[in-house]
A and B are shown apart, each in its own frame.
Chain A
Amino acid sequence: MTVILTVEDEPLVGEYLGDVLRDAGYEVIAASNSDEAIAVLESRDDIGIIITDVNMPGSMDGLKLAVAVKGRWPPIKIIIATGKAKPDERQMPPDSRFLPKPYAPERVLEAVRQFH
Protein backbone atom coordinates (compact mmCIF):
# COMPACT_ATOMS: atom_id res chain seq x y z
CA MET A 1 0.00 0.00 0.00
CA THR A 2 1.14 3.53 -0.73
CA VAL A 3 2.94 5.35 2.06
CA ILE A 4 1.63 8.90 2.56
CA LEU A 5 3.52 11.76 4.21
CA THR A 6 1.29 14.38 5.81
CA VAL A 7 2.58 17.86 6.65
CA GLU A 8 0.30 19.78 9.00
CA ASP A 9 1.23 22.15 11.81
CA GLU A 10 -2.01 21.82 13.81
CA PRO A 11 -1.39 18.59 15.81
CA LEU A 12 -5.04 17.55 16.15
CA VAL A 13 -5.78 18.27 12.49
CA GLY A 14 -2.68 16.28 11.49
CA GLU A 15 -3.75 13.40 13.70
CA TYR A 16 -7.25 13.46 12.27
CA LEU A 17 -5.92 13.45 8.71
CA GLY A 18 -3.67 10.51 9.60
CA ASP A 19 -6.65 8.67 11.10
CA VAL A 20 -8.75 9.11 7.98
CA LEU A 21 -5.93 7.77 5.78
CA ARG A 22 -5.02 4.88 8.12
CA ASP A 23 -8.68 3.82 8.33
CA ALA A 24 -8.62 3.57 4.53
CA GLY A 25 -5.58 1.28 4.77
CA TYR A 26 -2.72 3.63 4.01
CA GLU A 27 0.53 3.80 5.94
CA VAL A 28 0.99 7.36 7.17
CA ILE A 29 4.06 9.31 8.29
CA ALA A 30 3.30 12.64 9.95
CA ALA A 31 5.44 15.77 9.82
CA SER A 32 4.52 19.07 11.42
CA ASN A 33 6.54 21.38 9.15
CA SER A 34 8.52 21.47 5.91
CA ASP A 35 11.90 20.78 7.51
CA GLU A 36 10.59 17.64 9.20
CA ALA A 37 9.03 16.58 5.91
CA ILE A 38 12.32 16.97 4.03
CA ALA A 39 14.10 15.00 6.76
CA VAL A 40 11.57 12.16 6.37
CA LEU A 41 11.98 12.15 2.58
CA GLU A 42 15.75 12.03 2.95
CA SER A 43 15.59 9.06 5.33
CA ARG A 44 13.25 6.78 3.40
CA ASP A 45 12.38 6.04 -0.20
CA ASP A 46 8.91 4.50 0.05
CA ILE A 47 6.85 7.72 0.24
CA GLY A 48 4.45 7.81 -2.71
CA ILE A 49 2.21 10.75 -1.87
CA ILE A 50 2.65 13.90 0.19
CA ILE A 51 -0.28 15.94 1.54
CA THR A 52 0.84 19.38 2.71
CA ASP A 53 -0.91 22.33 4.26
CA VAL A 54 -0.04 25.68 2.64
CA ASN A 55 0.12 28.02 5.65
CA MET A 56 2.81 26.74 7.95
CA PRO A 57 5.48 28.33 10.08
CA GLY A 58 9.09 27.43 9.34
CA SER A 59 11.57 27.92 6.55
CA MET A 60 9.14 26.90 3.78
CA ASP A 61 5.39 27.11 3.39
CA GLY A 62 3.51 24.27 1.71
CA LEU A 63 3.82 25.70 -1.79
CA LYS A 64 7.58 26.09 -1.50
CA LEU A 65 7.81 22.59 -0.04
CA ALA A 66 5.78 21.25 -2.97
CA VAL A 67 8.13 22.86 -5.47
CA ALA A 68 11.20 21.58 -3.59
CA VAL A 69 9.81 18.03 -3.42
CA LYS A 70 8.96 18.08 -7.14
CA GLY A 71 12.54 19.12 -7.86
CA ARG A 72 14.30 16.51 -5.69
CA TRP A 73 11.87 13.61 -5.76
CA PRO A 74 9.94 13.96 -9.03
CA PRO A 75 7.96 10.68 -8.74
CA ILE A 76 6.29 11.71 -5.48
CA LYS A 77 2.68 12.85 -5.97
CA ILE A 78 1.75 16.09 -4.27
CA ILE A 79 -1.55 17.21 -2.75
CA ILE A 80 -1.74 20.83 -1.58
CA ALA A 81 -4.36 21.65 1.07
CA THR A 82 -5.58 25.06 2.15
CA GLY A 83 -8.60 26.65 3.80
CA LYS A 84 -8.08 29.70 1.66
CA ALA A 85 -8.80 30.08 -2.02
CA LYS A 86 -7.18 27.59 -4.39
CA PRO A 87 -3.60 28.74 -5.04
CA ASP A 88 -2.61 30.07 -8.43
CA GLU A 89 -1.89 27.13 -10.77
CA ARG A 90 1.45 28.73 -11.62
CA GLN A 91 2.53 28.46 -7.99
CA MET A 92 1.67 24.77 -7.83
CA PRO A 93 4.08 22.24 -9.33
CA PRO A 94 2.77 20.38 -12.41
CA ASP A 95 0.60 17.32 -11.68
CA SER A 96 -0.05 18.44 -8.10
CA ARG A 97 -3.60 18.50 -6.76
CA PHE A 98 -5.53 20.93 -4.61
CA LEU A 99 -7.51 19.82 -1.57
CA PRO A 100 -9.82 22.21 0.32
CA LYS A 101 -9.66 22.43 4.12
CA PRO A 102 -11.08 21.58 6.61
CA TYR A 103 -10.32 17.98 5.64
CA ALA A 104 -13.45 16.04 4.71
CA PRO A 105 -12.69 12.28 4.70
CA GLU A 106 -14.32 11.60 1.33
CA ARG A 107 -12.49 14.55 -0.35
CA VAL A 108 -9.16 13.44 1.14
CA LEU A 109 -9.57 9.85 -0.05
CA GLU A 110 -10.82 10.96 -3.46
CA ALA A 111 -7.69 13.12 -3.92
CA VAL A 112 -5.40 10.28 -2.83
CA ARG A 113 -7.12 7.69 -5.03
CA GLN A 114 -6.63 9.84 -8.13
CA PHE A 115 -2.94 9.07 -7.84
CA HIS A 116 -3.02 5.28 -8.02
Chain B
Amino acid sequence: MMDNEFRTDIEAIETIAAIPTILNVVCRVTGMGFAAVARVTESRWVCVAVNDEINFGLKPGGELKVQTTICREVRQCGDPIVIDHVADDALYRDHPTPAMYGFQSYISMPIFLKDGGFYGTLCAIDPRPARLKNPGVMGMFRLFAQLIAFHLDAGRRVVTAEANLLDARTAAEVREQFIAVLGHDLRNPLASIQAGTELLQKKPLDAKARSILAMMDKSVARMAALIDDVMDFARGRLGAGLTLTRSTAPLEPVLKQIIAELQAAHPDRTIEADIHLPDPIVGDPARIGQLLSNLLGNALTHGAEDKPVRVKATTNGRFELVVANAGAPIPAAAMERLFQPFSRGQVRPNQQGLGLGLYIASEIARAHGGTIDVQFSDGQTRFTFSMPLDGGASRRH
Protein backbone atom coordinates (compact mmCIF):
# COMPACT_ATOMS: atom_id res chain seq x y z
CA MET B 1 0.00 0.00 0.00
CA MET B 2 1.50 3.25 -1.10
CA ASP B 3 0.25 6.71 -0.52
CA ASN B 4 0.81 9.61 -2.82
CA GLU B 5 3.72 10.97 -0.85
CA PHE B 6 5.85 7.96 -1.66
CA ARG B 7 4.57 7.63 -5.21
CA THR B 8 5.86 11.17 -5.79
CA ASP B 9 9.18 10.17 -4.20
CA ILE B 10 9.53 7.18 -6.50
CA GLU B 11 8.64 9.26 -9.56
CA ALA B 12 11.21 11.86 -8.54
CA ILE B 13 13.90 9.22 -8.17
CA GLU B 14 12.93 7.64 -11.49
CA THR B 15 13.66 10.90 -13.28
CA ILE B 16 17.29 10.78 -12.06
CA ALA B 17 19.06 8.86 -14.81
CA ALA B 18 22.18 8.28 -12.67
CA ILE B 19 20.44 6.19 -9.97
CA PRO B 20 20.63 2.73 -11.63
CA THR B 21 24.31 3.37 -12.40
CA ILE B 22 25.01 4.48 -8.83
CA LEU B 23 23.38 1.34 -7.39
CA ASN B 24 25.22 -0.84 -9.88
CA VAL B 25 28.60 0.75 -9.11
CA VAL B 26 27.93 0.34 -5.38
CA CYS B 27 27.44 -3.42 -5.88
CA ARG B 28 30.46 -3.78 -8.21
CA VAL B 29 32.87 -1.89 -5.95
CA THR B 30 31.76 -3.44 -2.64
CA GLY B 31 30.89 -6.89 -3.95
CA MET B 32 27.54 -6.62 -2.17
CA GLY B 33 24.42 -8.07 -3.80
CA PHE B 34 21.73 -5.61 -2.74
CA ALA B 35 21.80 -1.83 -2.90
CA ALA B 36 18.89 0.57 -2.53
CA VAL B 37 17.81 4.15 -2.08
CA ALA B 38 15.35 4.27 0.81
CA ARG B 39 13.00 7.04 1.81
CA VAL B 40 13.05 7.00 5.59
CA THR B 41 10.61 8.98 7.68
CA GLU B 42 9.73 8.84 11.36
CA SER B 43 7.30 6.01 10.72
CA ARG B 44 8.08 4.52 7.30
CA TRP B 45 10.90 2.85 5.36
CA VAL B 46 10.07 2.72 1.67
CA CYS B 47 12.37 1.48 -1.05
CA VAL B 48 12.38 4.04 -3.91
CA ALA B 49 15.12 2.50 -6.08
CA VAL B 50 16.85 -0.86 -5.95
CA ASN B 51 19.54 -3.08 -7.45
CA ASP B 52 18.78 -6.57 -6.13
CA GLU B 53 21.14 -9.33 -7.28
CA ILE B 54 20.52 -11.68 -4.34
CA ASN B 55 16.75 -11.98 -4.54
CA PHE B 56 16.30 -10.05 -1.31
CA GLY B 57 12.87 -9.38 -2.77
CA LEU B 58 12.36 -5.62 -2.38
CA LYS B 59 11.08 -3.62 -5.30
CA PRO B 60 10.51 0.14 -5.60
CA GLY B 61 7.52 0.89 -3.41
CA GLY B 62 8.35 -2.07 -1.19
CA GLU B 63 8.29 -1.30 2.50
CA LEU B 64 10.05 -2.57 5.61
CA LYS B 65 8.82 -1.94 9.11
CA VAL B 66 10.95 1.06 10.03
CA GLN B 67 11.43 -0.24 13.60
CA THR B 68 13.20 -3.30 12.19
CA THR B 69 15.72 -1.28 10.14
CA ILE B 70 19.11 0.12 11.03
CA CYS B 71 18.34 3.04 8.69
CA ARG B 72 16.07 4.30 11.44
CA GLU B 73 19.14 4.67 13.64
CA VAL B 74 20.94 6.47 10.79
CA ARG B 75 18.02 8.86 10.65
CA GLN B 76 18.18 9.45 14.38
CA CYS B 77 21.94 10.03 14.63
CA GLY B 78 22.52 11.52 11.17
CA ASP B 79 25.75 9.53 10.72
CA PRO B 80 26.46 6.56 8.45
CA ILE B 81 26.41 3.06 10.00
CA VAL B 82 28.85 0.53 8.53
CA ILE B 83 29.25 -3.16 9.42
CA ASP B 84 31.93 -5.17 7.61
CA HIS B 85 31.08 -8.47 9.29
CA VAL B 86 28.15 -8.76 11.71
CA ALA B 87 29.57 -11.85 13.45
CA ASP B 88 32.77 -9.90 14.34
CA ASP B 89 31.03 -6.63 15.21
CA ALA B 90 30.78 -6.04 18.95
CA LEU B 91 27.96 -3.51 18.53
CA TYR B 92 25.75 -5.40 16.06
CA ARG B 93 26.59 -9.04 16.76
CA ASP B 94 23.45 -9.45 18.87
CA HIS B 95 21.32 -6.82 17.10
CA PRO B 96 18.03 -8.40 15.89
CA THR B 97 18.08 -6.79 12.43
CA PRO B 98 20.98 -8.70 10.79
CA ALA B 99 19.51 -11.99 11.92
CA MET B 100 16.06 -11.01 10.75
CA TYR B 101 17.19 -10.05 7.23
CA GLY B 102 20.07 -12.50 7.04
CA PHE B 103 23.00 -10.20 6.24
CA GLN B 104 26.61 -10.10 7.40
CA SER B 105 27.71 -6.84 5.76
CA TYR B 106 25.81 -3.58 5.94
CA ILE B 107 26.26 0.07 5.02
CA SER B 108 23.79 2.94 5.24
CA MET B 109 24.72 6.50 4.25
CA PRO B 110 22.26 9.33 5.12
CA ILE B 111 20.96 11.49 2.28
CA PHE B 112 20.47 15.09 3.40
CA LEU B 113 18.68 17.58 1.18
CA LYS B 114 19.97 21.12 0.69
CA ASP B 115 17.62 22.52 3.32
CA GLY B 116 19.20 20.16 5.86
CA GLY B 117 16.21 17.84 5.88
CA PHE B 118 16.79 14.10 6.15
CA TYR B 119 15.56 12.34 3.03
CA GLY B 120 16.58 8.74 3.57
CA THR B 121 19.58 6.53 2.93
CA LEU B 122 21.74 4.99 0.28
CA CYS B 123 22.22 1.50 1.71
CA ALA B 124 23.55 -1.92 0.79
CA ILE B 125 23.53 -5.40 2.35
CA ASP B 126 24.94 -8.83 1.59
CA PRO B 127 24.77 -12.25 3.29
CA ARG B 128 28.60 -12.33 3.10
CA PRO B 129 31.03 -10.00 4.84
CA ALA B 130 32.47 -7.06 2.85
CA ARG B 131 35.28 -4.53 3.24
CA LEU B 132 33.47 -1.26 3.74
CA LYS B 133 35.20 0.60 6.57
CA ASN B 134 37.79 2.32 4.40
CA PRO B 135 38.02 5.86 3.00
CA GLY B 136 37.49 4.65 -0.56
CA VAL B 137 34.11 2.97 -0.03
CA MET B 138 32.98 5.50 2.59
CA GLY B 139 33.97 8.40 0.33
CA MET B 140 32.12 6.84 -2.60
CA PHE B 141 28.93 6.39 -0.57
CA ARG B 142 29.17 9.93 0.79
CA LEU B 143 29.66 11.35 -2.71
CA PHE B 144 26.78 9.30 -4.17
CA ALA B 145 24.48 10.37 -1.33
CA GLN B 146 25.33 14.01 -2.06
CA LEU B 147 24.77 13.46 -5.78
CA ILE B 148 21.34 11.94 -5.15
CA ALA B 149 20.44 14.85 -2.85
CA PHE B 150 21.62 17.32 -5.48
CA HIS B 151 19.40 15.73 -8.14
CA LEU B 152 16.41 15.57 -5.80
CA ASP B 153 16.82 19.27 -4.94
CA ALA B 154 17.11 20.23 -8.59
CA GLY B 155 13.98 18.21 -9.36
CA ARG B 156 12.07 19.87 -6.56
CA ARG B 157 13.13 23.30 -7.76
CA VAL B 158 11.83 22.55 -11.25
CA VAL B 159 8.51 21.32 -9.86
CA THR B 160 8.19 24.39 -7.63
CA ALA B 161 9.10 26.73 -10.48
CA GLU B 162 6.51 25.10 -12.73
CA ALA B 163 3.87 25.37 -10.01
CA ASN B 164 4.73 29.04 -9.44
CA LEU B 165 4.47 29.73 -13.14
CA LEU B 166 1.08 28.06 -13.22
CA ASP B 167 -0.01 30.06 -10.17
CA ALA B 168 1.13 33.28 -11.80
CA ARG B 169 -0.80 32.47 -14.97
CA THR B 170 -3.95 31.60 -13.07
CA ALA B 171 -3.60 34.73 -10.96
CA ALA B 172 -3.26 36.86 -14.09
CA GLU B 173 -6.39 35.30 -15.55
CA VAL B 174 -8.37 35.84 -12.37
CA ARG B 175 -7.16 39.43 -12.28
CA GLU B 176 -8.23 40.00 -15.88
CA GLN B 177 -11.67 38.61 -15.14
CA PHE B 178 -11.93 40.70 -12.00
CA ILE B 179 -11.03 43.83 -13.92
CA ALA B 180 -13.55 43.06 -16.65
CA VAL B 181 -16.33 42.40 -14.15
CA LEU B 182 -15.42 45.40 -12.01
CA GLY B 183 -15.32 47.66 -15.05
CA HIS B 184 -18.71 46.47 -16.18
CA ASP B 185 -20.26 46.73 -12.73
CA LEU B 186 -18.92 50.25 -12.22
CA ARG B 187 -20.14 51.38 -15.63
CA ASN B 188 -23.70 50.14 -15.14
CA PRO B 189 -24.75 52.52 -12.37
CA LEU B 190 -22.91 55.29 -14.14
CA ALA B 191 -24.91 54.63 -17.31
CA SER B 192 -27.98 54.82 -15.12
CA ILE B 193 -27.06 58.26 -13.76
CA GLN B 194 -26.29 59.45 -17.26
CA ALA B 195 -29.65 58.17 -18.53
CA GLY B 196 -31.26 60.05 -15.62
CA THR B 197 -29.61 63.35 -16.48
CA GLU B 198 -30.57 62.93 -20.15
CA LEU B 199 -34.18 62.33 -19.15
CA LEU B 200 -34.24 65.38 -16.88
CA GLN B 201 -32.70 67.62 -19.53
CA LYS B 202 -35.83 67.20 -21.62
CA LYS B 203 -38.01 68.57 -18.84
CA PRO B 204 -38.74 72.25 -18.34
CA LEU B 205 -36.11 73.32 -15.80
CA ASP B 206 -34.89 76.60 -14.37
CA ALA B 207 -31.34 77.83 -14.89
CA LYS B 208 -30.10 76.51 -11.55
CA ALA B 209 -31.38 72.99 -12.27
CA ARG B 210 -29.79 73.08 -15.75
CA SER B 211 -26.41 74.02 -14.31
CA ILE B 212 -26.67 71.22 -11.73
CA LEU B 213 -27.41 68.75 -14.53
CA ALA B 214 -24.46 70.04 -16.54
CA MET B 215 -22.18 69.51 -13.52
CA MET B 216 -23.56 66.01 -13.00
CA ASP B 217 -22.87 65.23 -16.65
CA LYS B 218 -19.30 66.41 -16.25
CA SER B 219 -18.83 64.24 -13.19
CA VAL B 220 -20.25 61.23 -15.02
CA ALA B 221 -17.88 61.84 -17.92
CA ARG B 222 -14.94 62.12 -15.53
CA MET B 223 -15.92 58.97 -13.71
CA ALA B 224 -16.31 57.09 -17.00
CA ALA B 225 -12.85 58.26 -18.07
CA LEU B 226 -11.39 57.13 -14.74
CA ILE B 227 -12.91 53.68 -15.12
CA ASP B 228 -11.52 53.43 -18.64
CA ASP B 229 -8.10 54.51 -17.37
CA VAL B 230 -8.08 52.04 -14.51
CA MET B 231 -9.10 49.21 -16.81
CA ASP B 232 -6.48 50.13 -19.39
CA PHE B 233 -3.87 50.46 -16.69
CA ALA B 234 -4.75 47.12 -15.18
CA ARG B 235 -4.74 45.40 -18.55
CA GLY B 236 -1.49 47.04 -19.60
CA ARG B 237 0.29 46.45 -16.31
CA LEU B 238 -1.12 43.14 -15.19
CA GLY B 239 -2.42 41.53 -18.32
CA ALA B 240 -1.41 41.14 -21.89
CA GLY B 241 -0.64 44.81 -22.47
CA LEU B 242 -2.58 47.22 -24.63
CA THR B 243 -4.05 45.45 -27.61
CA LEU B 244 -4.45 47.34 -30.86
CA THR B 245 -7.03 46.81 -33.53
CA ARG B 246 -5.20 48.30 -36.48
CA SER B 247 -7.12 49.61 -39.45
CA THR B 248 -6.77 52.14 -42.24
CA ALA B 249 -10.04 53.84 -41.29
CA PRO B 250 -9.65 57.63 -41.56
CA LEU B 251 -8.47 59.25 -38.33
CA GLU B 252 -9.85 62.71 -38.98
CA PRO B 253 -13.45 62.04 -37.91
CA VAL B 254 -12.24 60.31 -34.76
CA LEU B 255 -9.98 63.23 -33.80
CA LYS B 256 -12.72 65.77 -34.56
CA GLN B 257 -15.19 63.81 -32.46
CA ILE B 258 -12.82 63.80 -29.46
CA ILE B 259 -12.23 67.54 -29.83
CA ALA B 260 -15.99 68.16 -30.04
CA GLU B 261 -16.60 66.08 -26.90
CA LEU B 262 -13.98 67.90 -24.87
CA GLN B 263 -15.15 71.26 -26.22
CA ALA B 264 -18.67 70.38 -25.09
CA ALA B 265 -17.36 69.47 -21.64
CA HIS B 266 -15.40 72.75 -21.43
CA PRO B 267 -17.72 75.31 -23.10
CA ASP B 268 -15.79 78.26 -21.63
CA ARG B 269 -12.48 77.22 -23.23
CA THR B 270 -11.20 77.64 -26.78
CA ILE B 271 -9.81 74.64 -28.66
CA GLU B 272 -8.26 75.40 -32.04
CA ALA B 273 -7.89 72.42 -34.32
CA ASP B 274 -5.84 72.08 -37.49
CA ILE B 275 -6.17 68.59 -38.94
CA HIS B 276 -4.61 67.81 -42.29
CA LEU B 277 -3.96 64.14 -43.02
CA PRO B 278 -3.34 63.58 -46.76
CA ASP B 279 -1.49 60.25 -46.33
CA PRO B 280 -3.14 56.98 -45.28
CA ILE B 281 -2.40 55.97 -41.69
CA VAL B 282 -2.49 52.48 -40.20
CA GLY B 283 -3.36 52.48 -36.51
CA ASP B 284 -6.02 51.85 -33.93
CA PRO B 285 -8.36 54.83 -34.38
CA ALA B 286 -10.08 54.32 -31.01
CA ARG B 287 -6.73 54.18 -29.18
CA ILE B 288 -5.35 57.21 -31.01
CA GLY B 289 -8.59 59.01 -30.15
CA GLN B 290 -8.03 58.04 -26.52
CA LEU B 291 -4.46 59.32 -26.70
CA LEU B 292 -5.70 62.68 -28.04
CA SER B 293 -8.40 62.74 -25.38
CA ASN B 294 -5.82 62.25 -22.64
CA LEU B 295 -3.39 64.85 -24.02
CA LEU B 296 -6.18 67.35 -24.64
CA GLY B 297 -7.73 66.72 -21.22
CA ASN B 298 -4.30 67.26 -19.69
CA ALA B 299 -3.83 70.54 -21.61
CA LEU B 300 -7.27 71.81 -20.56
CA THR B 301 -6.59 70.94 -16.93
CA HIS B 302 -3.11 72.42 -16.69
CA GLY B 303 -3.11 75.15 -19.36
CA ALA B 304 -3.93 78.82 -18.86
CA GLU B 305 -7.72 79.14 -18.78
CA ASP B 306 -7.81 82.34 -20.83
CA LYS B 307 -5.68 81.05 -23.70
CA PRO B 308 -6.63 78.58 -26.43
CA VAL B 309 -5.45 74.98 -26.52
CA ARG B 310 -4.16 74.03 -29.98
CA VAL B 311 -4.40 70.62 -31.66
CA LYS B 312 -2.48 69.97 -34.85
CA ALA B 313 -2.45 66.70 -36.77
CA THR B 314 -0.32 66.19 -39.88
CA THR B 315 1.35 63.54 -42.01
CA ASN B 316 4.82 64.25 -43.37
CA GLY B 317 6.41 60.82 -43.66
CA ARG B 318 5.14 60.15 -40.14
CA PHE B 319 1.89 60.82 -38.36
CA GLU B 320 2.31 63.73 -35.96
CA LEU B 321 -0.18 64.97 -33.40
CA VAL B 322 0.64 68.10 -31.38
CA VAL B 323 -1.34 69.38 -28.40
CA ALA B 324 -0.15 72.74 -27.08
CA ASN B 325 -1.35 74.90 -24.23
CA ALA B 326 -0.23 78.24 -22.80
CA GLY B 327 0.74 78.63 -19.18
CA ALA B 328 3.54 77.94 -16.78
CA PRO B 329 6.05 75.24 -17.78
CA ILE B 330 5.85 71.82 -16.16
CA PRO B 331 8.13 71.88 -13.09
CA ALA B 332 11.38 69.95 -13.56
CA ALA B 333 10.52 67.60 -10.71
CA ALA B 334 7.18 66.64 -12.31
CA MET B 335 8.83 66.31 -15.70
CA GLU B 336 10.83 63.26 -14.63
CA ARG B 337 7.76 61.32 -13.60
CA LEU B 338 5.41 62.74 -16.20
CA PHE B 339 4.70 59.48 -18.03
CA GLN B 340 4.83 57.27 -14.95
CA PRO B 341 1.55 55.87 -13.61
CA PHE B 342 -0.04 57.80 -10.73
CA SER B 343 2.01 60.89 -11.47
CA ARG B 344 -0.21 63.87 -10.72
CA GLY B 345 0.53 67.53 -11.18
CA GLN B 346 -0.72 70.31 -8.90
CA VAL B 347 -4.13 71.13 -10.26
CA ARG B 348 -7.24 73.00 -9.37
CA PRO B 349 -9.50 71.35 -6.80
CA ASN B 350 -11.89 68.68 -8.12
CA GLN B 351 -9.78 68.23 -11.23
CA GLN B 352 -7.59 65.56 -9.74
CA GLY B 353 -7.43 62.35 -11.77
CA LEU B 354 -5.53 59.17 -11.00
CA GLY B 355 -2.48 60.37 -12.86
CA LEU B 356 -2.90 57.63 -15.45
CA GLY B 357 -3.79 59.74 -18.50
CA LEU B 358 -0.27 60.48 -19.74
CA TYR B 359 0.96 57.02 -18.81
CA ILE B 360 -1.78 55.42 -20.92
CA ALA B 361 -1.14 57.90 -23.75
CA SER B 362 2.53 56.91 -23.75
CA GLU B 363 1.60 53.21 -23.73
CA ILE B 364 -0.68 53.78 -26.75
CA ALA B 365 2.16 55.63 -28.49
CA ARG B 366 4.56 52.78 -27.71
CA ALA B 367 2.13 50.14 -29.01
CA HIS B 368 2.07 52.07 -32.30
CA GLY B 369 5.86 52.16 -32.49
CA GLY B 370 5.75 55.86 -31.66
CA THR B 371 6.75 58.32 -28.94
CA ILE B 372 5.40 61.30 -27.04
CA ASP B 373 7.77 64.22 -26.44
CA VAL B 374 7.23 67.32 -24.33
CA GLN B 375 8.73 70.73 -25.05
CA PHE B 376 8.28 74.16 -23.57
CA SER B 377 8.99 77.30 -25.59
CA ASP B 378 7.46 80.77 -26.02
CA GLY B 379 5.15 80.23 -23.06
CA GLN B 380 3.71 77.07 -24.62
CA THR B 381 3.80 73.49 -23.37
CA ARG B 382 3.73 71.22 -26.39
CA PHE B 383 3.11 67.45 -26.35
CA THR B 384 4.03 65.79 -29.65
CA PHE B 385 2.93 62.27 -30.52
CA SER B 386 4.86 60.91 -33.48
CA MET B 387 4.50 57.48 -35.05
CA PRO B 388 5.34 55.73 -38.35
CA LEU B 389 2.50 55.80 -40.89
CA ASP B 390 2.15 52.02 -40.60
CA GLY B 391 1.47 52.36 -36.88
CA GLY B 392 4.34 50.06 -35.96
CA ALA B 393 2.70 47.19 -37.90
CA SER B 394 6.03 46.30 -39.53
CA ARG B 395 7.67 45.70 -36.14
CA ARG B 396 4.94 43.40 -34.96
CA HIS B 397 6.12 39.95 -33.91
Give residues in A with beta carbon < 8 Å to B: 10-13, 15-17, 19, 55, 83-84, 101-103
What 14 new A-B contacts, CB under 8 Å, besides A10-B191, A83-B191?
A12-B193, A12-B195, A12-B196, A13-B192, A16-B195, A16-B196, A55-B184, A83-B184, A83-B188, A101-B191, A102-B187, A102-B191, A102-B195, A103-B195
Shortest A63–chain B CB gap in Å is: 16
Closest to B180 in A: A84
Residues of A with C-beta under 8 A to B314:
none
Residues A12 and B199 in contact, CB atoms below 8 Å apart: yes
Residues A19 and B191 in contact, CB atoms below 8 Å apart: no
C-beta contact mask, B189-206 vs A, less than 8 Å → 1, else 0? 101111110110010000
C-beta contact mask, B288-305 vs A, less than 8 Å → 1, else 0? 000000000000000000
Neighbour of B199 across the interface among A19, A84, A101, A102, CB < 8 A: A19
Shortest B198–chain A CB gap in Å is: 5
Q: How long is the Cα–Cα vector from A16 to B188 in the complex, in angstroms?
A: 14
Residues B195 and A13 in contact, CB atoms below 8 Å apart: yes
Give residues in B with beta carbon < 8 Å to A: 180, 184, 187-189, 191-196, 198-199, 202
Q: How long is the Cα–Cα vector from A16 to B193 in the complex, in angstroms?
A: 10
Secondary structure call for the B interface = helix
Closest to A103 in B: B195
Neighbour of A10 across the interface among B180, B195, B202, CB < 8 A: B195
Residues B191 and A13 in contact, CB atoms below 8 Å apart: yes
Q: How long is the Cα–Cα vector from A13 to B184 in the complex, in angstroms?
A: 15
Residues of B with C-beta under 8 A to A19:
198-199, 202
Residues B199 and A16 in contact, CB atoms below 8 Å apart: yes
Shortest A13–chain B CB gap in Å is: 5
Q: Which of B184, B195, B202 has the most C-beta atoms of chain A within 10 angstroms of its own C-beta? A: B195
Q: How long is the Cα–Cα vector from A11 to B199 in the complex, in angstroms?
A: 12
Residues A10 and B188 in contact, CB atoms below 8 Å apart: yes
A–B complex contacts, Cβ < 8 Å, 11 sampled: A10-B191, A10-B192, A17-B195, A19-B199, A55-B184, A83-B187, A83-B188, A101-B191, A102-B187, A102-B195, A103-B195
Residues of A with C-beta under 8 A to B187:
83, 102
Shortest B213–chain A CB gap in Å is: 14
Residues of B with C-beta under 8 A to A103:
195
Residues of A with C-beta under 8 A to B195:
10, 12-13, 15-17, 102-103
Residues of A with C-beta under 8 A to B180:
84
Q: How long is the Cα–Cα vector from A103 to B198 in the complex, in angstroms?
A: 11
Q: How long is the Cα–Cα vector from A17 to B198 in the complex, in angstroms?
A: 10
